[in-house]
Amino acid sequence: MDIQFEQVGYTYQPDTPFAFCALKDINLTIKEGSYTAIVGHTGSGKSTLLQHLNALIKPTAGVVKIGDRLITTDTPNKNLKEVRKEVGIVFQFPEAQLFEETIEKDVAFGPKNFGVEGEELKKVVRDSLQMVGLDDSYLERSPFELSGGQMRRVAIAGVLAMKPSVLVLDEPTAGLDPRGRKEMMGMFYDLHKEQGITIVLVTHLMDDVANFADYVIVLEKGQVIKQGLPKQVFTDTQWLTTQQLGVPAATTFAQQLMARGFQFDTIPLTTKELAQEIAKILRKSGEQV
Ligand SMILES: Nc1ncnc2c1ncn2[C@@H]1O[C@H](COP(=O)(O)OP(=O)(O)OP(=O)(O)O)[C@@H](O)[C@H]1O
């Protein structure tokens, strides 16, 4: 299922003295099966855009196409339940929304509301916990006795329990330590590869974009100012620096080597690519690698 934005605009509190245009003339496609990163400075409109992906808010101009459903200003709310099931959003610090006394009940909350019950409900809860790396021993435990990272996993399992085909992640590793960040990003990549889930990731970490995303959308002041493959977006490092968006660490390192006379065939975005490029250069110069 693709999600398409056609000339989408969004104004908060329209027709009031407080009207604020947060999105303007957005045209983009989130392709089924892709891993799309959305980057941009604070206030650029990322969260506003995310909420259009499952019609939590409706555009005040243009059309959002979610699969074959068209969402416009006039779309009635009653037709949107299925959309919200298909596109799951993990907001920042989702663990703050845990509320049930056991993990099993918390993860079951969404599917139960959609009429799933009995053995099927039990299975979907177990499967979802397994996807986030938590085994059955967690079922009866209270979510509030877990570490912050585990609580976040439980909250994510609650979204996965709805069996979404698109998973939207708003800064999902904020507040985690480096190991927790790495594990969680690995977990999303596995879900993407093994379950075929389309991922939309909002992040300010360019290394995560370089390591995982296959498409990048850059927002600024409510508009898309660049979009394309990570290679296309990151190769223009001068533009990125001017925009103060940050550059992947491997790319920065390669640039420093280039300033000292190294020549790269392609500019690396990840440490793996950097290692390969350096090995190539050393091989050419006759060093043993
Ligand atoms: N409920 C609201 N009423 C009025 N203006 C709002 C509202 N929510 C957000 N805005 C404004 O819309 C703009 C875009 O906000 P949004 O939260 O989408 O940006 P963002 O890129 O997600 O920022 P951050 O990285 O800080 O989360 C900001 O200028 C913000 O002040």
- Ligand 1 pocket mutation, candidates 11, 12, 89, criterion most atoms within 8 A of CB: 12
Q: At 43, which CATH number?
A: 3.40.50.300
Same domain, 287 and 177: no
Claim to verify: residue 36 and residue 157 sit in the same structural domain = yes
> How far is residue 187's CA from residue 168's CA, in Å, rounded to a whole number?
14
Report whether residue 186 contacts ligand 1, using a CB cutoff of 6 Å.
no
Q: Do 151 and 179 share a domain, yes or no?
A: yes
Q: What is the pLDDT of residues 145-171, one digit of tens each?
A: 999 999 999 999 999 999 999 999 999
pLDDT of 288 strictly over 60: no
Looking at the fold, whether 107 and 172 belong to one and the same domain comes out as: yes
pLDDT at 111: 95
**235 band by pLDDT with thresholds 50, 70 and 90:** confident
| pLDDT for position 234 | 85
Looking at the fold, whether 109 and 133 belong to one and the same domain comes out as yes
* Same domain, yes or no: 100 and 168: yes
* Cα 191 to Cα 198: distance, rounded to the nearest angstrom: 9
Specify the DSSP element, H or E, that contains 5: strand 3-12
pLDDT at 246: 84
Identify whether residues 153 and 259 lie together within a single domain.
Answer: no
128 and 11 within one domain: yes
What is the arithmetic mean of pLDDT over 218-222?
Answer: 96
Name the residue with higher pLDDT: 11 or 231. Answer: 11
Place of tokens 């850059």: 218
Measuring CA to CA, how many Å separate 227 from each of 11, 217, 219, 232, 269?
Answer: 23, 4, 9, 8, 16
* Exposure of 1 in the CB half-sphere (CA atoms within 13 A): 20
Which among 36, 1, 46, 39 has a CA at the least distance from the CA of 164?
1
Q: What is the 101 CA–ligand 1 centroid distance (Å)? A: 33
DSSP string for 29-69: EE-TT-EEEEEE-TTSSHHHHHHHTTTSS--SEEEEEETTE
CB of 175 closer than 6 angstroms to any ligand 1 atom: no
Q: Do 236 and 256 fall within a single domain?
A: no
- Do 217 and 287 lie in one domain? The reply is no
Instruction: Give the span between the Cα atoms of 41 and 140, in whole angstroms.
Output: 41
| Residues ≥6 apart with Cβ < 8 Å to 191 | 131, 160, 167, 197, 199
279/161 Cα distance (integer angstroms): 44
> pLDDT band at residue 241, thresholds of 50, 70 and 90?
confident
Q: Which of 32-36, 120-124, 227-231, 258-262 has the lowest mean pLDDT?
A: 258-262
Looking at the fold, whether 222 and 277 belong to one and the same domain comes out as: no
Query: For the whole model, what pTM was predicted?
Result: 0.92
Average pLDDT over residues 237-249: 84
Token pair listed for 146: 């877990």
Residue 30: band (very low, low, confident or very high) from pLDDT cuts 50, 70, 90 = very high
Query: For 26-53, what is the mean pLDDT?
Result: 96
Q: Residue 20 C-alpha to ligand 1 middle, in angstroms?
A: 9
- Ligand 1 pocket check for 12: Cβ under 6 Å: yes
Is 80 exceeded by the pLDDT of residue 214? Answer: yes
pLDDT at position 259, please?
Answer: 87
User: According to the model, what pLDDT value does residue 6 have?
Assistant: 98
| 22 pLDDT more than 90 | yes
Ligand 1 centroid vs 85 CA: distance in angstroms?
A: 24
Between 148-160 and 103-113, two packed helices, what is the crossing angle to 10 degrees? Answer: 20
What range defines the domain where residue 143 resides?
Answer: 3-247
Q: What percent of the chain has pLDDT over 90?
A: 79
pLDDT at 116 over 90: yes
79 band by pLDDT with thresholds 50, 70 and 90: confident
Residue 190 to residues 156, 183, 257: CA-CA distances in angstroms?
A: 14, 10, 33
Instruction: Provide the mean pLDDT of the chain.
Output: 93
Which pLDDT score, from 0 to 100, does residue 182 have?
A: 93
Residue 242 has pLDDT above 90, yes or no: no
Degrees to nearest 5, angle at CA 47 with 44 and 49: 85
| ipTM of this predicted structure | 0.97
Identify whether residues 161 and 262 lie together within a single domain: no
- Among 35-44, 166-175, 252-261, the minimum mean pLDDT is found in 252-261
111 pocket-lining for ligand 1 (C-beta < 6 Å): no
pLDDT for the residue numbered 287: 62
Overall number of domains in the chain: 2
Residue range 69-86: average pLDDT?
A: 91
Q: Which two tokens stand for residue 120?
A: 């099927």
